Amino acid sequence: MRSPGISGPRLRRIAARVAAGIIGLIVIGRLTGMLVDWLWFSSIGYVNVFWTVLVTKALLFAAVFAASAGAIWVSGLLAHRYASPPGSWKAEVLSELVGEVAPHLPWHAAIAGAAVLLGLLLATSEIPDWELVLRYFNQVPFGKADPIFGKDIGFYLFSLPAYLALRNWLLLLLCCGAAATAAVYGMRGDIACMRSPRGLSPAAAAHGSALLGLFFLLQAWSYWLDRFLLLYGDNGVVVGASYTDIHVGLPALWPLIGLAGAAAAASWANMRWRGYRIPAASALAVFGSALVLVLIYPALFQRFYVKPNELQLETPYIAHNIALTRDAYGLAQIAVKPFPAEQNLDLAALQANRPTIDNIRLWDLQPLRDTYAQLQEIRTYYKFLATDIDRYRFDARYQQVMLSARELEPSLLPANAQTWVNLHLLFTHGDGVVMSPVTEKSAEGLPTLYLKDIPPVSRGGPPIGEPRLYFGEGGKGYVIVNGNAPEFDYPKGDENVYATYHGRDGVAIGSMALQALFAWQFDDPNILVTSYITPASRILLHRNIQDRVRTIAPFLSLDHDPYIVVSGGRLFWIQDAYTTSRWFPYSQPGTGDGDNYIRNAVKVVIDAYNGTADFYISDPADPVVRTYQRIFPGLFKPLGAMPQDLQQHIRYPEDLFLIQAQVYRAYHMETPEVFYNREDLWQFPRKQADIDAGTGPGTPMTPYYMIVRLPAQPRAEFVLMLPMVPSQRENMIAWLAARCDPPDYGKLVVYAFPKDKLVYGPFQIEARIQQNTEISQQISLWNQMGSRVIRGHLQVVPIDNSILYVSPLYLRAESGQLPELKRVIAAYGDHVVMEETLGAALAALFKEAAPLATAPGGQPDGRAREALAHYDRAMERLKAGDWGGFGAELDALRPLLEALGAGRADAQK
């Protein structure tokens, strides 16, 4: 008696239903995802971007699928048609290998199914290349040719990557087609490798020869493309095509192209003879020649001919590398100016550069953020995620400030309060910003707050009319607004204030169908069953600003630091975005992901309340962004269309500046001989150990923003700067500055020091600070009294043609989290001082009074005593930070000194 069980046909039906269900769920998931994306793109006004990307992906998928499945299906059908019929000489082998399955197999259906499956896999793998396709068909010429082939650089940025992707797909298709064909012949018994007689049937041999001919033809095209890939080589001396590449590698590719073409013709001819000798000889000729001509001979040539004469032979190619690398990173536009590094700084120079002195940054990012957190987070669910540096005009003052957005972090709510209603309906937004000037501090060593509290209170800062932040650097999840649940706005005493969202963002979610859609998409049934959603409700998605920008424009690379701006009583985020490529010929890769071309081509402005994202082209000369402008005509706006007040807050991005500075360390050397010898290689200065940041001594210094009057410029301006030191040395040799203010935005300047003069670098100044007995004793004393000393970053401050060094010092209780600015260390020349305020430190640095002039009789001149009195009062005003009184005393001092100078000259006569 047979045991009960599931029959074979029923089992197959169950399996088919399970497979259909799984495929259905995958399809539904994809469709709902696309529908949600369409609704979201429509809500923010960029539905054309959505359709452009979706249609391109669909067309690419369809084209690759049709071509792949069609080619594999045709090859499989041909194999089935010409394979040995049942009962032939291979029937015995067939029977042993596949039993009774193959003779009864529905071959046409099986071949079609395999072709569809492989076609789907190939088409899916090609979808990420949608950008390559769009860039290829919309490319903009670069306007400059490469030095070897004379092709426009745009060919390398747009066409060559597309050709390589096409080659790779064809090669994969050929492999899949050959595998499917071999499977058919194997199942039909035309390929015998397990039993004698071993070999291929005539049909299988002919078919294999045809496919092999296609492979060799594809290999010939690959060798043709390899010519251009020589421009991306790196032999340790030259990045790009070297002497060996041009004189050996390039000529060797032409015979390989010919050999591969001849091998393709021979393979097709073998379809008639159907032997193995011609394919074997073809493969040996092509790949053996490639081994000799591409690997062995160039290596020997490089070692025994080029290496002994390397500088002479590689000089032209080093020059190509220098020139094109400088073009790729925008270094060719850097202006080089001398900086005398004089030691004649005095009080009059300080007064003349008061905007610079007033904006020396005494607050480091981490200590200030810790202080903000203790003073202004107000509630545990608020968080300052980042501290930004910007500048504002307050009346007649041009002030550098630091500010931080008070964002809502629902994860910081108590565990029992992290309910679905709280996380998605009640706690929806942050509130306001905190702002403080970079130099000022209170008597207790705390920052002076221009903006503070909830709702924001202005104490000298810009007023804020709409402080709510629905979009920020946090905001990872969705929220639903305009429902029955009141939205928490801010705490007020023992009660809470509630608000309703009146912004533009959000996808309508009032209908049952839309609630079901989003419940499915987010795997959250609460959206469907909650009673808090009304017909007016909307769901806010992609609230993290970088996620929002990446979703709209995934082809842009983003700077790590978006920053908050207060403009017109509203809050905006500015996100710098880059166009990048790894296909710029002869260019040194400058980033970890291999990119060797970068432009800060786009500034993105995101409204913190409405969520609107506007993309402004900041580098209209960039061919990559011009190509994307063709692809997405409604996405980008000219920079001039940005509101004027926001234009005053654009700044040179730190990530780009750092990459350019890293490359410039070597590529400021434009003479090939100097570059080859690395005679003038620069490095970033080392800085002291930063315990809070987890860095040790020797960590490279990072760029920093400051307001400074550049040499020979009429006014102070906002710049991003970084000192440079020679390789293996600590003395400063130059400093690089990026100008941020219109109309000079984006201009880079290098101020080079005289090579015959020693200028202390930051690490040397740090050593002098540590060797100062008074400072080291005081720090040791504080560290032993239950406090912890935090040394701030040392800043190099250019003033006229001199260099001043300033570093803050903070104290924090061992058990506390509230750093206080207690001292300012300043250094100039050989003098290092530490005082309570910046003014006092500067007064201590420049306390040497002018020699007391005497009358002809040997007694002190009355005018000299009066001058000394004005000088003493000026020093007192400087210590107190009274710049008005300081300037008045200097003005009174000047005519007395001039009179004394004239009297001394008369006496000498």
In a domain, 481, yes or no: no
pLDDT of res. 864: 66
Residues 273 and 307 placed together within one structural domain of the fold: yes
In a domain, 287, yes or no: yes
Residues 62 and 159 placed together within one structural domain of the fold: yes
Q: Once rounded to an integer, what is the mean pLDDT over residues 358-365?
A: 94
Count other Cβ atoms within 10 Å, centred on residue 772: 18
Most confident region among 179-183, 348-352, 474-478, 634-638 by mean pLDDT: 634-638
pLDDT of res. 759: 92
pLDDT confidence of 7, banded at 50, 70, 90? Answer: low
541 neighbors 510 (Cβ within 8 angstroms): no
Is the confidence at residue 69, as pLDDT, over 90? Answer: yes
State how far the Cα of 896 lies from the Cα of 601, in Å rounded to an integer: 55
Residues 826 and 738 placed together within one structural domain of the fold: yes
Q: Which of 156, 177, 195 is the last residue of a domain?
A: 195
Residues 609 and 674 placed together within one structural domain of the fold: no
In a domain, 484, yes or no: no
234 neighbors 314 (Cβ within 8 angstroms): no
pLDDT confidence of 687, banded at 50, 70, 90? Answer: confident
Question: Using one digit for the tens of pLDDT, what is the confidence trace for 492-550?
Answer: 888 899 999 999 999 999 999 999 999 999 999 999 999 999 999 999 999 999 999 99
Is the confidence at residue 13, as pLDDT, over 50? Answer: yes
Average pLDDT over the chain, rounded to an integer = 89
Higher-pLDDT residue of 468 and 861 is: 468
pLDDT of res. 347: 83
258 neighbors 264 (Cβ within 8 angstroms): no
Residues 646 and 551 placed together within one structural domain of the fold: yes
Range in 232-246, 656-670, 780-794 with the lowest mean pLDDT: 780-794
Q: Which of 180, 195, 210 is the last residue of a domain?
A: 195
Q: Which of 599, 630, 650 is the last residue of a domain?
A: 650
Residues 786 and 859 placed together within one structural domain of the fold: no
Query: 852 vs 450, 579, 858, 867, CA distance in Å?
Result: 44, 63, 11, 9
Residues 582 and 711 placed together within one structural domain of the fold: no
pLDDT confidence of 696, banded at 50, 70, 90? Answer: low
pLDDT confidence of 858, banded at 50, 70, 90? Answer: very low
In a domain, 121, yes or no: yes
Residue 570 structural domain: 544-650
pLDDT of res. 902: 59
Domain tally for the chain?
6
Higher-pLDDT residue of 491 and 67 is: 67
What's the token pair of residue 793? 């970053």
Higher-pLDDT residue of 878 and 386 is: 386
Range in 151-155, 162-166, 470-474, 698-702 with the lowest mean pLDDT: 698-702
Q: Identify the H or E element spanning 898.
A: helix 883-908
Query: 282 vs 206, 254, 262, 292, CA distance in Å?
Result: 15, 16, 8, 15
Higher-pLDDT residue of 833 and 94 is: 833
Residues 231 and 165 placed together within one structural domain of the fold: no
Residues 101 and 241 placed together within one structural domain of the fold: no
pLDDT confidence of 128, banded at 50, 70, 90? Answer: very high
Residues 642 and 732 placed together within one structural domain of the fold: no
pLDDT of res. 186: 84
What are φ and ψ of residue 899, in 5° steps?
-65, -40
Question: Using one digit for the tens of pLDDT, what is the confidence trace for 267-277?
Answer: 999 988 888 89
CB burial of 399-419 (b: ≥16 within 10 Å; e: otherwise) equals bbbbbbbbbbbbeebeeeeee
State how far the Cα of 136 lies from the Cα of 109, in Å rounded to an integer: 37
Q: Once rounded to an integer, what is the mean pLDDT over residues 453-470?
A: 95
Residues 617 and 680 placed together within one structural domain of the fold: no
pLDDT confidence of 755, banded at 50, 70, 90? Answer: confident
pTM of the predicted structure, to 2 decimals: 0.90
pLDDT confidence of 371, banded at 50, 70, 90? Answer: very high
In a domain, 535, yes or no: no
In a domain, 836, yes or no: yes
152 neighbors 143 (Cβ within 8 angstroms): yes
pLDDT of res. 898: 62
In a domain, 292, yes or no: yes
Q: Once rounded to an integer, what is the mean pLDDT over residues 891-896?
A: 70
pLDDT confidence of 905, banded at 50, 70, 90? Answer: low
Q: Identify the H or E element spanning 8.
A: helix 8-44
Is the confidence at residue 850, as pLDDT, over 70? Answer: no
Q: Once rounded to an integer, what is the mean pLDDT over residues 165-176?
A: 97
Identify residue 740 by its one-letter amino acid code: C
Residues 661 and 633 placed together within one structural domain of the fold: no
Reported as half-sphere exposure (CB side, CA atoms, 13 A), residue 71 has a value of: 23
Most confident region among 176-190, 408-422, 563-577, 773-787 by mean pLDDT: 563-577
Most confident region among 103-107, 253-257, 343-347 by mean pLDDT: 253-257
pLDDT confidence of 119, banded at 50, 70, 90? Answer: very high
In a domain, 757, yes or no: yes
